[in-house]
Structure 1
Amino acid sequence: MRSLRSVVDRLIGLSNILGSVALALVTIVILIDVIGRYFGAPLRGAQDIGQMGMVIIVFGGMAYCGRHGGHIAIDIFENAFPPRMNRVIDICVAFLGVVLFGAVAWKVIQSAQLSLMLNLATNIIQLPKAWFQWALAGFSILTALGMFLRGLELILREDRRAEHKEAMP
């Protein structure tokens, strides 16, 4: 279990790095585009790069959130429920996330195959859409795997969310 956790955590770290690089790239592209617009020469393809970059930014960080229980949670009733019930809810949510992100990956893989078949690309600079769809599918699979491990750890009494909450100021 530890070796699987280590591999998955490293892959999640890599996805975070890719998301961070994409964020920096999109920020630079937008900055260059805005400056260029001021001088009457906007950056060609800035919209395409921004849209496709958002796929990497959002889904690159999604696995980290899923692995550490960082997704949005409504805890209105958390104090009213006994700890065991909260734990069962956390386990169910983790496995529901596995199903949801697995479904996202499955549908995006089908969409990527269609994009390859039809040679779909972005409007302005013709970036192949399938590349970004494959990335989204990979990030979704990684998110599902991270949430699956989280669910298993919760079942085995290794609640990493509690560790994460303690580490927060």
Structure 2
Amino acid sequence: MYAHLTRWADRLISLSALVGTLGLLTEVGVILADVIGRYFGSPLIGAQDISQMAMVLVVFGGMALCDKVGGHVSVDVFERMFPARVLWIGDVLAPLLGAVIFCAIAWTVWESAALSRMLNLATNIIYLPKAWFQYAVVAMSLITALGMLIRGFGIAVSGKPIQHMQEREEVL
């Protein structure tokens, strides 16, 4: 069951990363077109709107993959002072807390998207509906939360901590 759930989560994480990649490609293309257009006296209309919305996709699209590969910043200043069991508890609780935070983000943005739909909120220049991007943030935040839950559960069940600084130095 756990392997099946992990496989589905990996697929969702890949989909989220693909959306982030498409957002990044859009961002690069729009900036390139705008810079070239500005040089010739004809900037791309709506470049700011598209860039802002694409950046939302880039950030939230890559968040689940960043968590999966362990790309988040970690501070290990006091790590050597704690026994392995305390580090393991931190390894379990950190992704679970992250999952709660991303669920809270999803809930808040869901409510904001409902307000955006009700008020027909859109970007300033080319009037892209904001709710579309807010619903994308909700979906990608939930995917990130799912990935974090599965990671925390996997560490808790396996009893194996993440390789910490002490162990890394022993390997070197």
Same fold (TM over 0.5): yes
Give unpaired runs (5+ residues) of structure 2.
Answer: none
Identify the residue that residue 123 of structure 2 maps to in structure 1.
Answer: 122
Task: Indicate if the aligned counterparts of 1:150 and 1:160 stay in contact, CA closer than 8 A.
Answer: no
Inter-partner Cα distance in structure 2 for 1:63 and 1:158: 23
User: 1:27-50 CA deviation, whole Å, 9 max, x = no partner?
Assistant: 010011011111110000000000
Q: For the Cα contact (< 8 Å) 1:68–1:150, is it kept in 2?
A: no
Say yes or no: does 1:82 pair with 2:83: yes
Residue 148 of structure 1 is matched in structure 2 by 149
Q: Is the 8 A contact 1:67 1:149 kept in 2?
A: no
Q: Give the secondary-structure state (helix, strand or coil) at the position aligned to 1:101.
A: helix
Distance (Å, rounded) in 2 between the aligned partners of 1:160 and 1:9 = 21
CA distance in 1: counterparts of 2:28 and 2:159, whole angstroms: 38
Q: Is the partner of 2:18 in helix, strand or coil? A: helix
CA contact (8 A) 1:68 1:160 kept: no
The count of residues paired between Structure 1 and Structure 2 equals 163
The one-letter amino acid of 1:107's match is T
Whether 2:32 is the aligned partner of 1:31: answer yes
Equivalent residue letter for 1:103: A
Q: Percent identity?
A: 52
Unaligned runs of 5+ in 1: none
Q: Residue 32 of structure 1 contacts residue 43 of structure 1 at CA under 8 Å; is this kept in 2?
A: yes
SS, match of residue 76 in structure 1: coil
Provide the aligned C-alpha RMSD in A. 1.5
Q: Which residue of 1 aligns with 2:16?
A: 15
**C-alpha distance in structure 2 between counterparts of 1:105 and 1:65, whole Å:** 18
1:161: Cα distance to partner?
4.9
Q: Which residue of 1 aligns with 2:50?
A: 49
